Structure 1
């Protein structure tokens, strides 16, 4: 049976409803509950094979399928790691695939950030059809070594997470691994003062980061100017909120590094940095509205691993300003021929550059993969093949003013139909993260059921400059105060603009977003009919006490400034004045279930109206939400909004 026939047969197993009916609106919630049917599509280095990650049944685990690139209808070679679950894969050579695996080994969490899974690296030789699992728990692939088809570099954190230093600067230990024999050789032990190492295309270490605990400074080192010795080239105080991230180096002048940095400005720009003189050079690119988010590397890492070809920023979309004309022209040509093209990128390429896989994602495309091979473009498959573009929702980038005059960027997912709509504000988690909404499954599911969804980049969100980020905590935590005003003011803006009805408003959030929903439930000037709080922090002090003694410098100012000075939902339970739907995973390691337990007791004490749904076996993170979890989540939400969200429902 060929690939396309297999996919259709699999989808018939996935749901019990008529898959091919395009007239059913909204979609059955079973559709939205599916995990990604196809993902991680990559071409082999020699271009002869295409591999993909596939979940063949609604409650099944991922398998890898490997096809000859010349014939995607051929019977594939299938790889299953049962009882371990394949998380992702990557080509290590023409014939060897590496895999990240996990297995549930406990039924309860062992504490904050101590979850129920263990992780391993493994590889499969597709010619010999043999699998090897490597015995170092928690190992991460560091380097594929494109010029060596037998060896890779991996690393791990000795001592796990029990460390008082920011994770980005913890010392790792590095090994070279022979993927044929399984033998490993120690490259170096990371140390606190120099522990985060990066390697060039041949496996030579060229960059390291560390921490000077005596001076409270992060330190960067290089081995470009002297291959035998590490040389310090930059320091940054741990109290600084500014960014300094080395993204690569100039191929023709390796001592010129490309660095994302503020350098005294509100917005992060891309700079040259001369490691010989230890000074910044030319400003390559900076914007006045948003930060430089990252750089774009060459689409062929087998030949041009560290080559920077453009700079990336996010606003209406993920935008790339290219330095390389050929890379830019290639992307532009693909955008013209890919259906519903929105954010198009080459996600893998053969060594000779002739074969490539392309990924597109956008408001009306949940994520689709294509193969360009021998001049022919073929559709490989979609993450969610049951979704038709015409039945999905548009996403619009907007800006509005908060009551104190601050401009709040936001994304609006708009249902098909005519406004005004019932509206849901869905604040992101974090809260100190960047977000760009291309295709958001939760927002699209809600829009498909008739709700307009606002996703505000409230103060504290990253990507919009230092002032927007630090205004959430620098003069006292604004959780429940100005950060909450930003969300409410966005909903009032939708009402003023005719998008939403004033008596049909709700809030739904997860993690920090769940915290914001609990705060909203007790607001005195109430504008919501109900709130839905997922994985919510209900007790600020309990949460921050999990890691209070691990924080230093800017992180300590950020976290303590936020949580110590902000409203704690458990302390305002008596003031709750709208119905609440609480949802929590039973093995949530980031916001442990004790938060839901304590908050429910407080609501019971004061006789408040709420419902509680526990997702058995679900952790905090989306990759632990399986089909049954997501089905329960979506059914609970839609039922609650229709029937229990205020008088008569939303």
Structure 2
């Protein structure tokens, strides 16, 4: 079955992107940086429950904002119905009924940040009836959709945190208020008000609450409750000390035996596994899936959320990409069949499905595919379009999963984006932010942009990264913070490994990072045993003490030890400014709420005081997060990076 191409509307650059240059792809000519600066052209592609309509989120111009386009699945070449929320920006949407779309909006409401983690945007929910064609906004700021209630017509459940999300308890445990909303009338009915000891609630496909989480402030323990054995009252089933670094997360339940929960936990082991948890006995029963190399990342649910909203069909883990072990043979066979017909198949998944199950939206993402959407409808496979339609598969780079040893013998996993051409390459190490996060590299825009310009890109999963067990995570802050020490060695040792393997040129090495990765770039610039020709630091933490003081009072238990140990005992770039010994490019958003611009201001003053060589680029109106980096931000970011690497990195450029 060959895809027929539906391209008139979605490859919009032919009509709208009249870029002031011509380009002919070849192995030696990288793409214009404007191509990489585009935000996703399309995303969030969804079928209506009856399968009669397909909607997608699209950015119609290079510097435009997202709109929703609604097509009839039987006439995809006809003019769509368009939904624009101006002056608010659509962030995401779901089909709630056959004719009603519910969406999340945001709007810039101030020009400057209002303190740490208080950005310039506010958000709310809205809905559109595609027949009446009228936008309806709901006034609870910060509201989020809890459940689409497939078995209740015109109803959804949404929640919000009264008074905002600030507080000492993790966001997942802060008390929320839950309402059932009638999308036709706008009427809302209070379901329950959360409280600290019982705050975050999960609902099943019937809209019945079955799980809740809370916090016992007196004992310093997180608590889990169930309402399966007795649907009229909550019953406590598990407690976890706030001082524990272990994980306990309920991901679903066994539909054939609702008294069995599916739990992601260490349960005394180093790696996180998927376990059965008997709620009547309040205890783990047996493991469902365990690995000795990486953590279980989560579960996969049935692709038809209208008929099977609670059905778990597989377990996921991250290693050489996203891997899924399916429990359901029908789902496994379907995915295998789709992988055989989708070009450049890598991570292939069903993103949306109608109630009948006969019409599917399929998404493929991989190293040579930024994300392509396909519609399978009435036996025909249609290419809807790509997130980045200007980028062609043969001009993108392969991604490899590798492992190497740090100087103390610790094994470090990493992802390597390899440019087209012959080694040795100039190389850039690009540590992720966080630092305590899990990273899996399928298609990474920044890495691919660098590779397209000839750079080998290493993304190390240095100690402290999640996904590789408890010891790998806690080794970053136990026995004193390792920021700037062993965590930094992990990055350098990865580059030295690439040099030893003949992949990287030892005279052409650089570091680029954002957030914690930017901090690592600042640390790299002042290391005495220098292996880099330059460093590029984006949104960098320059003063760790100031940064941790922003949220010191909000932390408790293990989280407090993690943050205070890592940052408190780590290298301070501000204090090491006098030791900077390579050229530096600093980049910062003017309204960065997570790492406020004062970090860049203080660090630049210190560099000036010591006569150090650096350049500074400010991204006007950009926050810390990728969804606030618009076309002009990314264009300036990429142009600054590539020009700096080419001309200013080391004696003669990289």
Q: Shorter chain as normaliser: what TM range?
A: over 0.9
Q: Is the 8 A contact 1:124 1:131 kept in 2?
A: yes
Q: Which of the numbers 585, 593, 602 marks the counterpart of 1:581?
A: 585
Question: After superposition, where does 1:378-397 map in structure 2 within 5 Å?
Answer: 378-397=382-401
Match of 1:554 in 2: 558
Residue ranges of structure 2 left out of the alignment (5+ in a row): none
- SS of the equivalent of 2:600 reads helix
Partner Cα separation in structure 2 for residue 118 and residue 278 of structure 1: 41
Stretch moving more, 6-15 or 157-166: 6-15
Q: Is the 8 A contact 1:510 1:535 kept in 2?
A: yes
Tell me which residue corresponds to 2:17: 14
**Retained in 2: the 8 A contact 1:84–1:103?**
yes
Any idea what the Cα deviations from partners look like across 1:564-594, whole Å, max 9, x if unmatched? 0000100100000001000000000000000
Deviation at 1:4, TM superposition (A): 2.6
Cα distance in 2, alignment partners of residues 422 and 451 from structure 1: 5
Question: Within 1, Cα distance between the matches of 2:156 and 2:23?
Answer: 45
Return the alpha-carbon distance in structure 1 between the equivalents of residues 386 and 191 of structure 2: 40
CA contact (8 A) 1:12 1:19 kept: no
Question: Which residue does 1:598 correspond to in 2?
Answer: 602
Structure 1 position 488 matched with structure 2 position 492: yes
Out of 621, 638, 641, the residue aligned to residue 637 of structure 1 is 641
Distance 2:613 2:308 in 1: 59
| From 75, 79, 98, the counterpart of 2:79 | 75
1:211 matched residue in structure 2: 215
The 8 Å contact of residues 15 and 30 in structure 1, kept in 2 or not, is answered as no
Distance in 2 between the 1:257 and 1:538 partners? 44
Q: Which residue of 2 aligns with 1:220?
A: 224
Please tell me whether the aligned partners of residues 427 and 509 of structure 2 are also in contact (alpha carbons under 8 angstroms): yes
Q: Secondary structure at the match of 2:258?
A: coil
CA contact (8 A) 2:11 2:385 kept: no
Name the residue aligned to 1:144.
Answer: 148
Residue 70 of structure 2 contacts residue 81 of structure 2 at CA under 8 Å; is this kept in 1? yes
Q: Secondary structure at the match of 1:477?
A: coil
Q: TM-score, normalised by structure 1?
A: 0.99
Cα distance in 1, alignment partners of residues 14 and 200 from structure 2: 44
Separation of aligned partners in 1, 2:16 and 2:573:
43
- What do residues 489-541 of structure 1 show as CA deviations (whole Å, max 9, x unaligned)? 00000000000011100000000000000000000000000000000000001
Which of 540, 543, 549 is residue 545 of structure 1 equivalent to? 549
How far has the Cα of 1:162 moved from its partner? 2.4
Q: 1:98 aligns with which of 102, 105, 124?
A: 102
- 2:28 paired with 1:4: no
Counterpart of 2:316?
A: 312
Distance change in 2, residues 1:3/1:78 (3 Å): farther
161-170 or 210-219: bigger deviation: 161-170
Deviation at 1:21, TM superposition (A): 3.2
CA–CA distance in 1 between the matches of 2:352 and 2:89? 23
Alignment of 1:88 onto 2:92: yes
Q: How does 1:374-453 map to 2 (within 5 A)?
A: 374-453=378-457
CA distance in 1, matches of 2:161, 2:22: 46
**Mapping of residues 52-451 of structure 1, within 5 Å:** 52-451=56-455
Instruction: Map Cα deviations across residues 230-283 of structure 1 (whole Å, 9 max, x no partner).
Output: 000111111111110001100110000000110010000000000001111111
Corresponding position of 1:26: 30
- Report the counterpart of residue 630 of structure 2 in structure 1: 626
CA distance in 2: counterparts of 1:8 and 1:390, whole angstroms: 18
Residues 355 and 18 from structure 1, CA distance in 2 versus in 1: closer, same or farther, beyond 3 angstroms? Answer: farther
Where 2:7 maps in the other structure, the secondary structure is helix
The answer to whether the 8 A contact 1:147-1:202 is kept is yes
Q: Deviations over 1:164-217 (max 9, x none)?
A: 111121111111111111111111111000000000101110000000111111
After superposition, the CA RMSD in angstroms is: 1.1
1:473 matched to 2:474? The reply is no
Post-superposition offset of 1:20: 7.0
Match of 1:41 in 2: 45
TM-score, normalisation: structure 2: 0.98
